[in-house]
């Protein structure tokens, strides 16, 4: 029974996915595919923006606005597409929340050392946690394994993109914890990037991260 906290119960991702196991696989594939967004942004973003006569931040904002409009139309007609879950016919979808969260990360922390680890923590960490739960791992095990995996992501970004190394012990557990709440009004695809993003923005005035 749902309480005042707005928490919702954990559901079977395959049972809830439109298209069953194939829809679930597609959903996971799209999630993993988000890992290419930083590469596309840094390699081709300016070219795409110039093609439509916008600067890069304007282009990112325009994409977010277009996705919000598309999501509003989808909700208006209670549409779910292949791979989405049944309840997403009546609330903002996980994909919609993820797109908004990633867009805000790109707009507010537009540097390789933060865009890469924040997006990879979502695109790789979230599916890992979901699959560990689906395989029957206990909560403590999910927390430990996912924190270690996300720490590895941030350490790799330290090596390749000069992400501050001292952020690893802070951001790995924070990204993991940010996935944990089951809220009806915002999906963990958003909280997993927006909560760590807020931490970076709050620390920036003191230590100049951006």
* Local confidence pLDDT in tens for the 210 residues of the chain: 344 345 555 555 666 777 778 877 888 899 999 999 999 999 999 999 999 999 999 999 999 999 999 999 999 998 888 778 888 888 899 889 999 999 999 999 999 999 999 999 999 999 999 999 989 999 999 999 999 999 999 999 999 999 999 999 999 999 999 998 877 788 999 999 999 999 999 999 998 888
pTM of the model: 0.90
Domain extent listing, the chain = 14-207
131, 97, 34, 173: CA torsion to nearest 10: -60
Cα separation, 69 vs 49, whole angstroms: 20
Alpha-carbon dihedral sign for residues 124, 27, 193, 64: positive
DSSP SS3 for 7: strand
- Residue 156: burial class (beta carbons within 10 Å; 0-12, 13-18, 19+): middle
């Amino acid at each position: 029974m749902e309480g005042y906290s707005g928490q919702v119960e954990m559901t079977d991702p395959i049972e809830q996915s439109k298209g069953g196991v194939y829809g679930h696989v597609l959903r996971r594939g799209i999630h993993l595919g988000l890992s290419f967004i930083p590469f596309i942004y840094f390699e081709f973003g300016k070219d795409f923006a110039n093609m439509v006569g916008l600067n890069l931040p304007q282009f990112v904002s325009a994409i977010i606005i277009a996705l919000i409009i598309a999501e509003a139309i989808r909700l208006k007609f209670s549409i779910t597409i292949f791979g989405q879950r049944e309840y997403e016919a009546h609330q903002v979808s996980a994909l919609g929340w993820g797109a908004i969260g990633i867009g805000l990360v790109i707009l507010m922390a537009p540097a390789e050392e933060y865009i890469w680890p924040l997006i990879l923590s979502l695109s790789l960490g979230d599916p890992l946690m979901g699959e560990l739960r689906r395989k029957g791992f206990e909560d403590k095990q999910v927390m430990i394994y996912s924190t270690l995996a996300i720490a590895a992501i941030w350490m790799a970004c330290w090596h390749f993109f000069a992400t501050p190394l001292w952020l690893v012990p802070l951001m790995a557990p924070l990204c993991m914890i940010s996935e944990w709440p089951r809220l009806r009004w915002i999906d963990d695809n958003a909280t997993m990037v927006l909560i760590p993003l807020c931490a970076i923005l709050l620390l920036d005035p003191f230590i100049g991260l951006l």
